[in-house]
Amino acid sequence: MESIIEGFRRAFFLIFNLDAELLSIIFLSLKVSGLALIIATVIGLSLGSLIGLKRFPFRGIIISLMNTFMGLPPVVVGLFLYLILSRSGPLGFMSLLYTPSAMVTAQSILAFPIVASLCHSAIISVDPIIKQSSMTLGATPFQVITTIMKEARYGIMSGVIAAFGRVMAEVGAILIVGGNIAGYTRVMTTTIALETDKGNFELALALGIILLTLSLIVNMVLHLIQKKGMISK
Amino acid sequence: MSLRLTVSNISRNYNGKPVLKDCSFAFDSGCIYLLLGPNGSGKSTFLRICALLEDTDSGEVNFVEDNTPLDSPLVRDTTPLNPPLVRDTTPPSPPLLRGGVRGGILKKDIHLKRRISLVLPKIGIFNTTVFKNVAYGLKIRGFKKKEVEEKADRVLESVGLIHKKDFNALTLSSGETQRLGIARAMVIEPEILFLDEPTASLDPHSTTIIEETINKLRKHNRLTIIMVTHNIFQAKRLADRVLFMYDGKILDHGPNRDFFEKPKDERTYRFITGQMVY
Q: Which of B42-46, B161-165, B265-269 has the lowest mean pLDDT?
A: B265-269
Q: How confident is the model at residue A158 (pLDDT cuts 50, 70, 90)?
A: confident
Question: Does the beta-carbon distance from B122 to A233 stay under 8 Å?
Answer: no
User: Quick one: DSSP state of residue B250?
Assistant: E
Distance from CA of B133 to the nearest CA of A (A): 10
pLDDT over 60 (residue B87): no
Percentages (nearest 5) of helix, strand, coil residues in chain A: 80, 0, 20
pLDDT over 70 (residue A10): yes
- Spatial separation of the C-alpha atoms in residues B32 and B24, rounded to whole Å: 18
Report the DSSP pairing between strands B249-255 and B241-246. antiparallel
- Spatial separation of the C-alpha atoms in residues A147 and A136, rounded to whole Å: 13
| Integer angstrom CA distances of residue B177 from A144, A232, B173 | 21, 16, 6
- Spatial separation of the C-alpha atoms in residues B52 and B112, rounded to whole Å: 10
Amino acid at B109: D
Max mean pLDDT range (A35-39, A68-72, A162-166): A35-39
Max mean pLDDT range (A153-167, A197-211, B64-78): A153-167
- pLDDT value of residue B69: 58
Q: How confident is the model at residue A13 (pLDDT cuts 50, 70, 90)?
A: confident
Q: Number of A:B CB contacts under 8 A?
A: 62
Q: How confident is the model at residue B206 (pLDDT cuts 50, 70, 90)?
A: confident
Mean residue pLDDT across chain B: 85
- pLDDT value of residue B86: 44
Higher pLDDT, B67 or B59: B59
Mean pLDDT of B61-72: 74
- pLDDT value of residue B263: 86
Question: Does the beta-carbon distance from B126 to A147 stay under 8 Å?
Answer: yes
User: Quick one: DSSP state of residue B122?
Assistant: S
Mean pLDDT of A91-107: 94
- Across the interface, which of A131, A138, A140 has its CB nearest the CB of B137? A138
Question: Does the beta-carbon distance from B136 to A233 stay under 8 Å?
Answer: no
pLDDT over 60 (residue B90): no
Question: Does the beta-carbon distance from A137 to B119 stay under 8 Å?
Answer: no
**Residues of chain B contacting residue A127, judged by C-beta atoms under 8 Å apart:** 124
pLDDT over 50 (residue B79): no
**Residues of chain A contacting residue B167, judged by C-beta atoms under 8 Å apart:** 233
Backbone torsions φ then ψ of A127, nearest 5 degrees: -55, 125
Mean residue pLDDT across chain A: 90
**Residues of chain A contacting residue B51, judged by C-beta atoms under 8 Å apart:** 136
User: Quick one: DSSP state of residue B129?
Assistant: B
**A173 SS3 class:** helix
Amino acid at A31: K
**A97 SS3 class:** coil
| Integer angstrom CA distances of residue B67 from A12, B13, B27, B100, B224 | 81, 35, 14, 7, 14
- Mutation for A interface: B122, B132, B136, B168, most A CBs within 10 A: B136
Max mean pLDDT range (B147-151, B200-204, B205-209): B147-151
Percentage of chain B lying above the pLDDT 90 cut: 58
Distance from CA of A215 to the nearest CA of B (A): 28
pTM: predicted TM-score of the whole model, two decimal places: 0.81
Q: How confident is the model at residue B81 (pLDDT cuts 50, 70, 90)?
A: very low
- Spatial separation of the C-alpha atoms in residues A41 and A113, rounded to whole Å: 9
**Residues of chain B contacting residue A148, judged by C-beta atoms under 8 Å apart:** none
Q: What is the CA radius of gyration of chain A?
A: 21
- Spatial separation of the C-alpha atoms in residues B141 and B149, rounded to whole Å: 14
Amino acid at B196: D
- Spatial separation of the C-alpha atoms in residues B140 and B130, rounded to whole Å: 16
Mean pLDDT of B110-118: 93
Question: Does the beta-carbon distance from A233 to B171 stay under 8 Å?
Answer: yes
Q: How confident is the model at residue B148 (pLDDT cuts 50, 70, 90)?
A: very high
What length is written for chain A? 233
Type and span of the H or E element at A16:
helix A2-16
Type and span of the H or E element at B102:
strand B102-105
pLDDT digits (tens, 9 = 90+) for B169-197: 999 998 899 999 999 999 999 999 999 99
- Do the Cβ atoms of B245 and B53 come closer than 8 Å? no
Taking Cα atoms as reference points, which of A228, A225, A232 lies closest to residue B168? A232
Asked if B202 is an interface residue toward chain A (Cβ–Cβ < 8 A), one would say no
Q: Which of A66-75, A197-206, B73-82 has the lowest mean pLDDT?
A: B73-82
Q: How confident is the model at residue B217 (pLDDT cuts 50, 70, 90)?
A: confident
Cross-strand bridge partners of residue B61: B7
User: Quick one: DSSP state of residue A55?
Assistant: -
Q: Where are the alpha helices (DSSP H) in chain B?
A: 43-50, 110-113, 130-139, 145-158, 174-186, 204-218, 232-238, 256-261, 266-272
Question: Does the beta-carbon distance from B137 to A137 stay under 8 Å?
Answer: yes
Q: How confident is the model at residue B22 (pLDDT cuts 50, 70, 90)?
A: very high
pLDDT over 50 (residue B78): no
- Spatial separation of the C-alpha atoms in residues B256 and A38, rounded to whole Å: 62
Task: Spell out the residues 6+ positions from residue B62 whose beta carbon is closer than 8 angstroms to its own.
Answer: B5, B6, B7, B8, B105, B106
| Integer angstrom CA distances of residue B275 from B247, B268, B269 | 16, 10, 8
Distance from CA of B84 to the nearest CA of A (A): 39
Asked if B118 is an interface residue toward chain A (Cβ–Cβ < 8 A), one would say yes
- pLDDT value of residue A203: 81
Sign of CA dihedral B99, B101, B105, B109: negative
- Spatial separation of the C-alpha atoms in residues A198 and A204, rounded to whole Å: 10
Taking Cα atoms as reference points, which of A132, A134, A138, A141 lies closest to residue B142? A138
What length is written for chain B? 278
pLDDT over 60 (residue B89): no
**Residues of chain B contacting residue A132, judged by C-beta atoms under 8 Å apart:** 53, 120, 124
Taking Cα atoms as reference points, which of B206, B208, B184 lies closest to residue B195? B184
- pLDDT value of residue B49: 96
Residue B90 CB burial class (10 angstroms; 0-12, 13-18, ≥19): exposed
- Across the interface, which of A132, A137, A231 has its CB nearest the CB of B184? A137
Sign of CA dihedral B16, B18, B22, B26: negative
**Residues of chain B contacting residue A134, judged by C-beta atoms under 8 Å apart:** 124, 136, 140
Q: Name the residue of chain A whose CA is nearest to B182's CA.
A: A137
Sort residue B194 into left (φ over 0), alpha (ψ -120 to 50) or beta. Answer: beta
Q: How confident is the model at residue A227 (pLDDT cuts 50, 70, 90)?
A: confident
pLDDT digits (tens, 9 = 90+) for A105-149: 999 999 999 999 999 999 999 999 999 999 999 999 999 999 999
pLDDT over 90 (residue B85): no
- pLDDT value of residue A1: 67
